[in-house]
Amino acid sequence: MRKLILAVVLTALSASAAMAQVGITAVPFLQIEPDSRAAGMGNTGVAIADNASALFWNPAGFAFQDEASQISATRSEWLPNFNTDLTYYYLAGKYNISGLGNFGAHITYFDLGEQVQTDEIGNELGTFRSYELASGISHGIQINDNFAMGVGFRFIYSRLAPAGISVGGQTAQNGASVGFDIAGLYRTNPFTIGDRDARFSAGFNLSNLGRGMQYVDDAQRDPLPTMIRAGWALNMTLDSDGYNTLTIANDVSKVMARNDSTGRAMPFMQALVRSWDTYQRFDALTNETVDVPLVEQLMIGIGAEYWYNQMFALRGGYFYESPNNGDRQFITIGAGIRYNIFGIDFSYLQTLKENHPLANTIRFSLLLNF
């Protein structure tokens, strides 16, 4: 990120970069998995996408959902091990329009807390609050009985520092952009494994396609966190009565953003092609340039979910990211309760390395069906 923003919001940027794969994009809060259900399953959801949070995981999932409307809300204290003043809020809903199907809408707000404004030599000039937000809509269209496509649109706003602050001859401004999603979801007809009912699904979601964020001038845009996510899920009953069900899921994802040789954000269409190559990043700890091949750019999530009578759920999962490219490795656990029109989900994240900033992250989500 540019010197101006580092000078005035060092704390905010350090926290944000810790969430993103090697911090190569702006607004990394868009990569935070919003719902506690998927978070408890090792961040898997692209092939499940059966509730309001489908607009994050896979908007094509709306095409296969029933006509009931739903609201989902999530709150999480972020990077708790850093003792930071970071809070993540997510509100999503779906609504059925007769003849058109289900539409989803969301508001995501990331509170970066209070920052101390300083000049170039470190004199304090006061305080200000930083935040980032996104809001958008999504829709899924069923192509046939087994396959659906989905699209999404969101407006993104980033206020890392008050507009007009000048440092080193550069003037800060608030960043704004728009992002688009395109997704697909395939579901088989029900079949049997032994004498148990089952269904297999597979999906993909290419999210946050759009022009980069501008904080200083057009030549210094940072790329949006464009991401490709693909995965599968297998759901099956464990008994003849269908009271006990198990879902196993696997997601593989990858950041598709790139900067060019001058450090500017590549146009997103160019980045979609170029981001499959090995790229180089600077390691601040070793002061060396590190090659990151394609296989090390992939993020892998594996999870499972058990339901008893669609009333009580237990979840678990594992997430892996290469030590050479973000180094997020953690296990997740979760639980859920459904009663009448209400639902509550909980997830807990335990990192496999000591003193990791994401350790002990807790999410709670509230569902309301009507």
| Domains along the chain with CATH numbers | 3-369 (2.40.160.40)
Q: Could you tell me the two tokens for 296?
A: 């090390």
Question: Reduced to 3 states, what is the DSSP secondary structure of residue 321?
Answer: strand
pLDDT at residue 2 tops 60: no
Per DSSP, the residues of 31-89 read: GS---HHHHTTTS--TTT--STTHHHH-GGGGGGS-S--EEEEEEEE-SGGGT---EEE
Residue-wise pLDDT tens digits, 104-142: 999 999 999 887 777 777 777 778 889 999 999 999 999
Other CB atoms closer than 10 Å to residue 123's CB: what's the count?
A: 8
Residue-wise pLDDT tens digits, 147-202: 999 999 999 999 987 776 765 666 778 889 999 999 999 999 999 998 899 999 99
**Range picked from 83-97, 249-263, 291-305 for highest mean pLDDT:** 291-305
Could you give the CA distance from residue 255 to residue 281 in angstroms, rounded to a whole number? Answer: 14
Query: In the block, which residue shows the tokens 């892998």?
Result: 300
Residue-wise pLDDT tens digits, 53-100: 999 999 999 999 998 899 999 999 888 777 678 999 999 999 999 889
- pLDDT of 166: 66
Could you give the CA distance from residue 37 to residue 234 in angstroms, rounded to a whole number? Answer: 16
Could you give the CA distance from residue 273 to residue 256 in angstroms, rounded to a whole number? Answer: 9
Name the nearest CA neighbour of 206 among 147, 287, 271.
271
Q: Could you tell me the two tokens for 321?
A: 């990211």
pLDDT at residue 310 tops 80: yes
- pLDDT of 356: 81
Could you give the CA distance from residue 228 to residue 289 in angstroms, rounded to a whole number? Answer: 25
- pLDDT of 218: 64
H or E element, residue 130: strand 124-142
In the chain, the percentage of residues whose pLDDT exceeds 70 is 90
Residue-wise pLDDT tens digits, 15-28: 333 344 445 788 99
pLDDT at residue 325 tops 80: yes
Per DSSP, the residues of 201-225 read: EEEEEEEEESPPB-SS-GGGPBPP-
Residue-wise pLDDT tens digits, 262-291: 777 888 888 899 899 998 887 777 778 889
Could you give the CA distance from residue 152 to residue 68 in angstroms, rounded to a whole number? Answer: 20
H or E element, residue 269: helix 268-274
- 21-25, 202-206, 316-320, 348-352: least confident range: 21-25
Comparing 330 with 168, which gets the higher pLDDT?
Answer: 330
**CA separation (Å) from 80 to 34, 64, 179, 349?**
16, 37, 29, 11
**CA separation (Å) from 156 to 24, 170, 224?**
17, 23, 10
Please, are residues 76 and 87 in contact by the beta-carbon 8 Å criterion? yes
Q: What is the mean pLDDT of residues 241-265?
A: 89
Could you give the CA distance from residue 193 to residue 199 in angstroms, rounded to a whole number? Answer: 9
Q: Could you tell me the two tokens for 309?
A: 């009578």
User: What pLDDT band is residue 207 in, cutting at 50, 70 and 90?
Assistant: very high
pLDDT at residue 13 tops 70: no
Could you give the CA distance from residue 64 to residue 91 in angstroms, rounded to a whole number? Answer: 21
- pLDDT of 80: 79
Could you tell me the pTM of the whole model?
A: 0.89
Other CB atoms closer than 10 Å to residue 95's CB: what's the count?
A: 15
